[in-house]
C-alpha cells in the first residue's frame, strides 16, 4: 500500500467491519496473504488497482468506495483496462450538447493545443534523458544523433499541426514525431541479477510496437510492459478528472469514436504520456531487478510481477495536478460562462429577437436579450404557442403567436385527418394498398406524390 494508491492482487476480499474497509489479498496457497484496514476519511487512498480474477466485493464495500470518492481500476494480465469505476457526478446537458455538436473549427484548436503540448513534453523528456544519462557507459554518439534528429522532427511536425486541414493529417504528424521519439529509448540496458538466464530482449528497452501484436499491447520487454500498466492507471485518473470537471469523457476530438472506450480520455492523456515515460524510465534505470520480478508467457509476452506493479503504478500518482490542469484547461472551452445558452422562451416572458455572439473560444452561440419586464397583472394572460414562443393574445380565442403558426397547425391537422381516413396526406387522393407481407404494410404517399418528390429531390442533387 502506498500513500494514495492501493494495489491488490491474487484472491481479493473486501468487507466492512465497524465502518472500516478490510482488504485481504494475495495467494493463500503460498502463504502470501496480506491485510489492509482503511478508515473513513483519513485513509489517504484515492485509487484502487485490482489485479485479480477471483475474490468478492460486497455492496457495503462498494458503497464505501462511493462515499470515499475512490476510483477503481480492474486490469487484465497485460496491463489493459478491463473495467474502471469512477465516482459519478452529474454533467450539465448544456456542456454535453456543446461537446457533441462542436465542429472542426472548434475542435481543431483544441486538438492542436493538446498535440503541441505532447510534442513539447516529448522534447523535454529527451533533453532530460541526454542531460541525466549521457555520462553512462552505455551512452553512445548514435544516441546523441537520434535525440537531435527526433527533436528537429518534432519541431517540424509541431509547425505542421497549425496547417493541417483535417484530423487525419494531425494523426499522421503525431505518429511521425512519435516514431523518432521512441527510437531514442531503444537499446537502453536494464540491470538484472543473473541476467544470463533471461531472454535477450528483456535486458534492453525495446521498440514501442510489440512483434506479437504490431502495437503496444503484449509487450515483450519489461519497460514497455510496465508502461502499459502506467498508461492504464493514467486512463482512469484522466477519466475521473473529466467527470469531476464536468465534461463528458466520451466525446473525443482526434481519437476515433469506438464503442469500447471513452475517446476524450485518450485525447487528454496525450500531453501527460511523455511525463509517464520519464518517470518509469528513471525508476527502472535506478533499480536492479530480480528474476521473479518479471516472467515470460508461453507465447513470449513479458508479464510484470505483482511486486513491481505495486511500485510502478504509484509513479503516475505524482502527476495528479498535471492531469487536473490539462483537463481543467480543456473543460474551460466548453464551460465558458460568457456563453449564454437559454431556452428560446420562458413561461410568462416574451421572447426577444436573438442575436449571434462569438466568444474567444470560437463558439457561436445565441445570446438572449434581456426580456422586457412583465407586469404581474399581465402574467396570467400570457400564452405559449406550439412553436415555443410566449405571446400576449389579442383576443380570448387567439391560440397562435402568428398567422404562419396558424397555417402550419391547420396543415398538420389536415394531414393527420387524411392519414386516419386512409388517404394520401399530401393530396388527399385514395391510397393504394401495399402488398401484404412486404417490408412496408402501409404506404406513406400515393404513387403520384411519391414520383413527384423523387424527381424533385433528384433535380436538387444534380
Tell me the Cα Rg of the chain.
Answer: 31
Domain boundary among 332, 348, 375: 332
- The predicted structure's pLDDT at residue 460: 58
**Same domain, yes or no: 62 and 110:** no
Backbone angles phi, psi at 306, to 5 degrees: -60, -35
**Same domain, yes or no: 103 and 250:** yes
**Same domain, yes or no: 31 and 104:** no
Instruction: Confirm whether 151 is domain-assigned.
Output: yes
- The predicted structure's pLDDT at residue 115: 94
DSSP 335-378: S-TTS----S--TTSPPPPPEEEE-TTS-EEEEPPPPPP--HHH
Q: How far apart are CA 127 and CA 148, in angstroms?
A: 9
- 253 by DSSP, 3-state: which? coil
pLDDT per residue as tens digits for the range 188-242: 999 988 877 888 888 899 999 888 888 888 899 999 999 998 999 899 899 989 9
Q: Which long-range contacts (CB under 8 A, 24 or more apart) does 32-37 make?
A: 36/1, 36/6, 36/8
Q: Which residues contact 193 (CB under 8 A, 6 or more apart)?
A: 288, 289, 290, 291
Q: How far apart are CA 176 and CA 181, in angstroms?
A: 9
**Structural domain total, the chain:** 3
- The predicted structure's pLDDT at residue 58: 83
Instruction: Confirm whether 146 is domain-assigned.
Output: yes
Task: Show the low-confidence residues of the chain (pLDDT under 70).
Answer: 1-3, 29-31, 336-382, 384, 386-388, 433-442, 457-462
End-to-end CA distance of the chain: give it in Å, rounded: 68
**Same domain, yes or no: 258 and 115:** yes
Instruction: Confirm whether 404 is domain-assigned.
Output: no
- The predicted structure's pLDDT at residue 85: 76
Query: 313: domain range?
Result: 93-332
Domain boundary among 277, 297, 332: 332
264, 252 contact by CB (below 8 A): yes
**Same domain, yes or no: 190 and 120:** yes
Instruction: Confirm whether 390 is domain-assigned.
Output: no
Q: What is the dihedral of CA 322, 324, 328, 330, to 10 degrees?
A: 60
Q: Which residues contact 418 (CB under 8 A, 6 or more apart)?
A: 424, 425, 428
CA angle 143, 145, 146 (to 5 degrees): 65
Q: How far apart are CA 222 and CA 160, in angstroms?
A: 34
**Same domain, yes or no: 249 and 284:** yes
- The predicted structure's pLDDT at residue 142: 93
**Same domain, yes or no: 126 and 194:** yes
Q: What is the dihedral of CA 306, 310, 311, 314, to 10 degrees?
A: 150
**Same domain, yes or no: 65 and 157:** no
Backbone angles phi, psi at 304, to 5 degrees: -90, 135
- The predicted structure's pLDDT at residue 145: 94
**Same domain, yes or no: 51 and 112:** no
401, 387 contact by CB (below 8 A): yes
- Which residues is 430 bridged to in the sheet? 423
Instruction: Confirm whether 150 is domain-assigned.
Output: yes
Instruction: Confirm whether 84 is domain-assigned.
Output: no
Instruction: Confirm whether 431 is domain-assigned.
Output: yes
**Same domain, yes or no: 172 and 279:** yes
**Same domain, yes or no: 102 and 22:** no
Instruction: Confirm whether 345 is domain-assigned.
Output: no
174, 215 contact by CB (below 8 A): no
**Same domain, yes or no: 48 and 156:** no
Q: How many residues are recorded in the chain? A: 462
Q: Which residues contact 287 (CB under 8 A, 6 or more apart)?
A: 191
387, 405 contact by CB (below 8 A): yes
Task: CATH number of the domain at 157, please.
Answer: 1.20.120.920
Domain boundary among 316, 332, 348: 332
pTM: 0.68
- The predicted structure's pLDDT at residue 354: 41
Amino acid at each position: 500500500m502506498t500513500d494514495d494508491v492501493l494495489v491488490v492482487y491474487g484472491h481479493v476480499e473486501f468487507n466492512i467491519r465497524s465502518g472500516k474497509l478490510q482488504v485481504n489479498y494475495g495467494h493463500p496457497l503460498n502463504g502470501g496473504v496480506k491485510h489492509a484496514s482503511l478508515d473513513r476519511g483519513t485513509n489517504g487512498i484515492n485509487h484502487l488497482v485490482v489485479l485479480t480474477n477471483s475474490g468478492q466485493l460486497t455492496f457495503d464495500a462498494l458503497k464505501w468506495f462511493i462515499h470515499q470518492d475512490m476510483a477503481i481500476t480492474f486490469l487484465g494480465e497485460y496491463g489493459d483496462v478491463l473495467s474502471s469505476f469512477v465516482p459519478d457526478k452529474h454533467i450539465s446537458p448544456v456542456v454535453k450538447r456543446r461537446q457533441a455538436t462542436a465542429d472542426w473549427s472548434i475542435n481543431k484548436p483544441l486538438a492542436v493545443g493538446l498535440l503541441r503540448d505532447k510534442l513539447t513534453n516529448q522534447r523535454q523528456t529527451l533533453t532530460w534523458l541526454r542531460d541525466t544519462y549521457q555520462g553512462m557507459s552505455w551512452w553512445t554518439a548514435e544516441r546523441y544523433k537520434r535525440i537531435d534528429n527526433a527533436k528537429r522532427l518534432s519541431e517540424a511536425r509541431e509547425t505542421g499541426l497549425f496547417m493541417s486541414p483535417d484530423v487525419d493529417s494531425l494523426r499522421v504528424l503525431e505518429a511521425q514525431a512519435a516514431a523518432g521519439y521512441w527510437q531514442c529509448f531503444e537499446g537502453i540496458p536494464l540491470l538484472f541479477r543473473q541476467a544470463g538466464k533471461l531472454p535477450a530482449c528483456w535486458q534492453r528497452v525495446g521498440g514501442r510496437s510489440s512483434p506479437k501484436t504490431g502495437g503496444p499491447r503484449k509487450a515483450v520487454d519489461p519497460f514497455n510492459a510496465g508502461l502499459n500498466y502506467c498508461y492504464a492507471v493514467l486512463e482512469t485518473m484522466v477519466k475521473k478528472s473529466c467527470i469531476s470537471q464536468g465534461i463528458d469523457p466520451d466525446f473525443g476530438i482526434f481519437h476515433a469514436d469506438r464503442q469500447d472506450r471513452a475517446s476524450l480520455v485518450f485525447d487528454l492523456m496525450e500531453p501527460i504520456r511523455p511525463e509517464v515515460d520519464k518517470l518509469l524510465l528513471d525508476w527502472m534505470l535506478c533499480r536492479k531487478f530480480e528474476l521473479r520480478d518479471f516472467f515470460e508467457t508461453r507465447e513470449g509476452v513479458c508479464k510484470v510481477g505483482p511486486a513491481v506493479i505495486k511500485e510502478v503504478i504509484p509513479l503516475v500518482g505524482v502527476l495528479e495536478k498535471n492531469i487536473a490542469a490539462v483537463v481543467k484547461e480543456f473543460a474551460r472551452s466548453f464551460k465558458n460562462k460568457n456563453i449564454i445558452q437559454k431556452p428560446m422562451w420562458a413561461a410568462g416572458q416574451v421572447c426577444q429577437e436573438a442575436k449571434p455572439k462569438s466568444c474567444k473560444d470560437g463558439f457561436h452561440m445565441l445570446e438572449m436579450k434581456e426580456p422586457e419586464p412583465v407586469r404581474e397583472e399581465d402574467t396570467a394572460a400570457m400564452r405559449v404557442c406550439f412553436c415555443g414562443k410566449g405571446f400576449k393574445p389579442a383576443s380570448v380565442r387567439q391560440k397562435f403567436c402568428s398567422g404562419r403558426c396558424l397555417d402550419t397547425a391547420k396543415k398538420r391537422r389536415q394531414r393527420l385527418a387524411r392519414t386516419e381516413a386512409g388517404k394520401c396526406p399530401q393530396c388527399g387522393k385514395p391510397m393504394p394498398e401495399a402488398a401484404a407481407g412486404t417490408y412496408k404494410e402501409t404506404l406513406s404517399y400515393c404513387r403520384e406524390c411519391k414520383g413527384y418528390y423523387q424527381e424533385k429531390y433528384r433535380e436538387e442533387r444534380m
